[in-house]
Amino acid sequence: MKLCTICNKERAIVKIPSTLMSSCKECFYLHMETIVHNTITQNNLFKRGDKVAIAVSGGKDSTVLAHVMTTLNKRYDYGLDLCLLSVDEGITGYRDDSLETVKRNKIEYEIPLLIISYEELYGWTMDKIVKQIGMKNNCTFCGVFRRQALDRGAVLLGVNHIVTGHNADDIAETVLMNIMRGDFSRLQRCTAIQTATDETIPRSKPFKYTYEKEIVMYAYFKKLDYFSTECIYSPNAYRGHARVFLKDLESIRPSTILDIIHSGESYQALQEVKLNVPVKGKVVVGNCERCGYMSSNKLCKACVLLEGLNRGLPKLGIGNANKIRRMNDTGNETTPAIQNFNEVWFFVSYFSWLFQRLYLVQRLNKICLCTFIFPYNLATSRNSHLSLN
């Protein structure tokens, strides 16, 4: 029987992914909870008396986060007033089921719960957005809207802080994505443990150094109630490619995940301090002129995306955000620009439709010629051949 390498008493039943140490259940629980506790204390995420909203979706990460935060708050006497905050994106057959898990967790942990929806905030649901935009860029809309929805829900709850279940794998994937896209502006701030402005509520990631596999095993051995189905709109997400690459690297070198995070942190330290770059662990940004949400531009990404949706041009906000921001700057001059764009789009659509119809007619003519003329020519050639004989 192999003993736990931490206590040398109990039988080892699990290998800790980040260290590859064999451990018993209790030592594994203590190992993971200690990592989270050290992350909280070393980064001074909270102060006594803070009201903290735990962003929950019903999935493994947020469910374990709610359990661990409740446990640590009692064990180390943080003095925090905890509550649950959930966002309903309006995904039929997925989010409505996961919210039932959240409601059960509310009862189990005896923590207040607020559910806020896209429909209330934006007048759109993800089901409606996907019908407009398709399956390719839907995660862009959902991610932007969800982050803003959390802040708006936190204001309604009157909290001082928001914690999310982003784990080490998520952060390492984000670093890789920003490198592959050449987005060095985001690369400078994506590893920050805390994001805040003077006007917005701080958001932090207590699971920054906690592996996803550790969270899964913690939920499994603790028998926590969580929703395990993947979002029906996420299989085509760009993040999936970074995830597969990261898992391949992890299988070769388990410390790869933390190494990538530390690389991102080191990259920050080499840069000049400017707008939207972490300063002492915090990201300092500006505010949107329209809704007041934090933004590095005059309009935040959510307002840009909503502008495109409400104008019937959902893809206008993806990759063309500057165009909408310029339209917003010119005020009343935006209407002629949109009218001209609509006129051009109408003519392009019309000529595309006309070309398709002409092409179809041409194809039908060829079919008719092959159907009627070819048999006729074949028959006449046979008759001529017989007459010659």
Report yes or no: 39 and 206 within 8 Å, Cβ to Cβ. Answer: yes
From 101, 263, 238, 97, select the one nearest 171 (Cα to Cα). Answer: 263
Neighbour-count burial of 359, counting CB atoms closer than 10 A to its CB (0-12 exposed, 13-18 middle, 19+ buried):
exposed
User: 371: which DSSP letter?
Assistant: I
Report yes or no: 117 and 127 within 8 Å, Cβ to Cβ. Answer: no
Per-residue tokens: 225: 């109630």
Q: What is the DSSP string of 1-40?
A: -PBPTTTSSSBP-EE-TTT--EE-HHHHHHHHHHHHHHHH
Neighbour-count burial of 248, counting CB atoms closer than 10 A to its CB (0-12 exposed, 13-18 middle, 19+ buried):
exposed
Burial 95-130, CB ≥16 within 10 A → b, else e = beebbebbeebbeebebebbbbbbeebbebbbbebb
Q: Which residue has the tokens 């493994």?
A: 60
- Rounded-to-integer distance, Cα 103 and Cα 105, Å: 5
Q: For each of the chain's 389 residues, which pLDDT tens digit applies? A: 889 999 999 999 999 998 889 999 999 999 999 999 999 999 999 999 999 999 999 999 999 999 999 999 999 999 999 999 999 999 998 888 899 999 999 999 999 999 999 999 999 999 999 988 888 778 888 888 998 899 889 999 999 999 999 999 999 999 999 888 887 777 878 888 988 655 578 899 999 999 999 999 999 999 999 998 888 887 777 888 899 999 999 999 999 999 999 988 887 545 454 445 555 555 556 778 888 777 767 888 888 888 888 888 777 767 554 555 555 555 444 444 444 444 444 444 544 555 555 555 555 555 444 444 444 444 444 444 444 44
Q: How many CB atoms lie within 10 A of CB 229?
A: 11
From 269, 92, 83, 70, select the one nearest 188 (Cα to Cα). Answer: 269
Q: What sign does the CA torsion over 364, 365, 368, 370 have? A: negative
From 242, 239, 162, 237, select the one nearest 206 (Cα to Cα). Answer: 162
Among left, alpha and beta (phi > 0; psi -120 to 50; other), residue 98 is alpha
- Rounded-to-integer distance, Cα 42 and Cα 22, Å: 27
Report yes or no: 162 and 52 within 8 Å, Cβ to Cβ. Answer: yes
- Rounded-to-integer distance, Cα 338 and Cα 320, Å: 14
Report yes or no: 223 and 122 within 8 Å, Cβ to Cβ. Answer: no
Beta strands in 167-230 (DSSP E): 194-195, 203-204
- pLDDT value, residue 384: 46
Residue type, 2: K
- 338 φ, ψ to 5°? -65, -40
Angle between helical axes of 301-310 and 138-157 (0-180°, round to 10): 120
- Rounded-to-integer distance, Cα 80 and Cα 375, Å: 88
Beta strands in the chain (DSSP E): 14-15, 22-23, 51-55, 81-88, 113-117, 161-163, 194-195, 203-204, 278-279, 282-283, 286-287, 294-295
- pLDDT value, residue 362: 55
pTM for the whole structure: 0.75
User: 334: which DSSP letter?
Assistant: H
- pLDDT value, residue 307: 85
- Rounded-to-integer distance, Cα 341 and Cα 339, Å: 5
Among left, alpha and beta (phi > 0; psi -120 to 50; other), residue 291 is alpha
- Rounded-to-integer distance, Cα 286 and Cα 11, Å: 53
